[in-house]
Chains A and B, each alone.
Chain A
Amino acid sequence: MRPQFSIIFFTTLAGMAQGLLFFIALSNLYSQATPSAFLTNLALPVAFVLLALGLVASFFHLGHPERAWRAAMMWRTSWLSREVIALPALMVVTIAIYMYALTDQVPQWLWLALLFTTVALWICTAKIYQCIRFIQEWSHPSTLTNFMLLGLTSGLILLELLVALRGNSAAQIIDAPLSLVAFLLLFLSFNLKLWIWRRNRSLKPKSNLATATGIKGNNIRQTSMGLMGGSFNTREFFHHQTDRMIANLRKIILLCAYVIPMILMAYAISTPNIPMITLALLINYLGLLAERWMFFAEANHPQNLYYQRVS
């Protein structure tokens, strides 16, 4: 598939915001672990801005953004439609918590609602891809797990940075344990990514030219796709990059999204400091952009069987 930058930015920005909100909700569920000032002055506005940026990015995906409101109509059948509802819902809950935090009293049910909506948005986003049964790279529960783990990781590193920026005022949350959890999440998601890449390599395509054309005979090959100048089909479903570029990008993903942040986090466990956490967050985010690019690029669409030869 052709990587779509609108979706790459949406899923990574919203994912980071969801991770941040998830951990804030989790830590405040039973007792107030973060001071209200930390929430209203820093954490919630940052999360909201990230979600809003993601929302703006997603509009660039549409041919007719002015009709975007229509996308909420088919929530009974379409995961995309459900996502279009889940994102504003998460933003509304975030605003509600902000309002309550101003009065210093956030009720427990609202924290639960925040947990629920962050997870709901992850499910909707991942299911958009996972539910396409004939894109075998996507049609697996690891799609959801990967989106969630990476969102949680980047969100946690962001939370750690925000806590560090606030100095000692962030009450019970301190940086060293956050670094440890971030390290563990990075390690988990790193292994999941390696496993997903192994799975993708060993996938046997269910469709081939024999099933796609029904032609009886061996050694079926295309001699003409019926057009010469390219079409939607040749643009939308191929990544148009060389094997070498893909191989190099895989190395960059492993280094930036996982290995370098892991080293920085391991160091931050003993000596937390703001520049190091900032660096970890930035490198991790660049890695996530590349990871999401690859998520599209490595998906093989069966329609490509019909578009192999130009002449």
Chain B
Amino acid sequence: MSKNKQLALVIDLNVCVGCHACVTSCKEWNTSGSAGPLTDLNAYGANPSGTFFNRVQTFEAGTFPNTQTVHFPKSCLHCEEPPCVPVCPTGASYKRKEDGIVLVDYDKCIGCSYCSWACPYGARELDQERQVMTKCTLCVDRIYSETLPESEKKPACVLACPTSARIFGDVHDPESAASKAIEERGGYALMPEWETQPANHYLPRSIMETIDAARNDK
């Protein structure tokens, strides 16, 4: 690991309730911020389609009666070895040295979509109206804002989450809350088989162990 800062999100699957507050607050901030607009097509029709940086999906596991429902927020993982960056022909996609955020320069992007093919997570979405590739910026315009109060210099999704399922911090700093959560609670990366080294981590549902123990006691 490099000594540079690597900002990231750590997502606690124990407490995410799938309310989509992070999705809407992300959209609200970013459509009106420096990354926007995130256009919606046919917004009030039968098949609305829009650009989002963050989605909450739902999965089930197990067999009845031992099943679990897992709400699963999904956004750009800001990989330490981002496969989307070297394939970009224009240099519009880049990873910042100072804090590890992967960004797109919308003025350079030619809309070829090649970077989205090179992302195994489907984290990038081509904006249909602007015809440039868009993705999570970790609210780079919030966290370095000169006007927001200190307590709000966090990604919009983190502030919106009612259950504190999203921890924001520098995963290269062992003292950060994010690093500690990964260290103490077995934080893991998605699709480790492709060696992209995602900076974002997920905290496994330790609650299942408690539930299983309770079931075994009966």
Contact = CB atoms under 8 A, between A and B. Distances in A.
B188 to A, nearest CB: 5
B57 A306 contact: yes
A63 B131 contact: yes
B100 to A, nearest CB: 18
A232 B51 contact: yes
Interface string B123-150: 0111010111000000000000000000
B60 A220 contact: yes
Interface stretch (A19-27, A38-46, A223-231): A223-231
B197 to A, nearest CB: 14
Contacts of A237: 122
Interface residues of A, number: 59
Interface residues of B, number: 65
A286 interface: no
Given A64-B132, A78-B86, A214 B202 contact: yes
Interface in B164-216: 188-194, 202, 204-205, 208
A226 B110 contact: no
A108 B196 CA distance: 46
Contacts of A233: 122, 125
A211 B190 contact: yes
B69 interface: yes
A35 interface: no
B29 interface: no
Given A212-B191, A306-B121, A62 B110 contact: yes
Contacts of B120: 134, 207, 301-303
A103 B42 CA distance: 61
Interface string A57-90: 0000111110110111110011111001000000
A291 B87 CA distance: 25
B70 A215 contact: yes
B122 A303 contact: yes
Contacts of A207: 120, 191, 193-194
Interface stretch (A93-101, A109-117, A125-133): A125-133
B204 A63 contact: no
Contacts of B193: 206-207, 211
Contact of A213 (B62, B72, B122): B72
A64 B131 contact: yes
Given A84-B89, A224-B57, A70 B117 contact: no
Contacts of B151: none
A209 B118 contact: no
Contact of A216 (B52, B110, B191, B205): B205
A211 B192 contact: yes
A307 B51 CA distance: 15
Contacts of B191: 134, 207, 211-212, 302
A1 B112 contact: no
A8 to B, nearest CB: 15
Given A225-B55, A306-B121, 16 more contacts: A62-B111, A64-B109, A67-B90, A71-B112, A73-B89, A74-B89, A74-B90, A74-B91, A81-B89, A214-B190, A217-B62, A219-B62, A221-B60, A221-B61, A302-B191, A306-B74
Per CB-CB distance, the 6 closest pairs between chain A and chain B, nearest first, are A63-B111, A63-B131, A303-B122, A217-B61, A77-B86, A81-B89
Interface of B: 13, 20, 23, 42, 46-52, 55-63, 68-70, 72, 74, 83, 86-92, 108-114, 116-122, 124-126, 128, 130-132, 188-194, 202, 204-205, 208
24 contacts: A63-B110, A63-B112, A63-B130, A65-B110, A70-B91, A71-B112, A74-B88, A74-B89, A78-B88, A78-B114, A131-B87, A132-B83, A207-B193, A212-B191, A216-B61, A217-B68, A222-B57, A225-B57, A230-B47, A301-B120, A301-B122, A302-B120, A302-B121, A302-B194
Interface of A: 1, 61-65, 67-68, 70-74, 77-81, 84, 128, 131-135, 206-207, 209, 211-233, 236-237, 301-304, 306-307
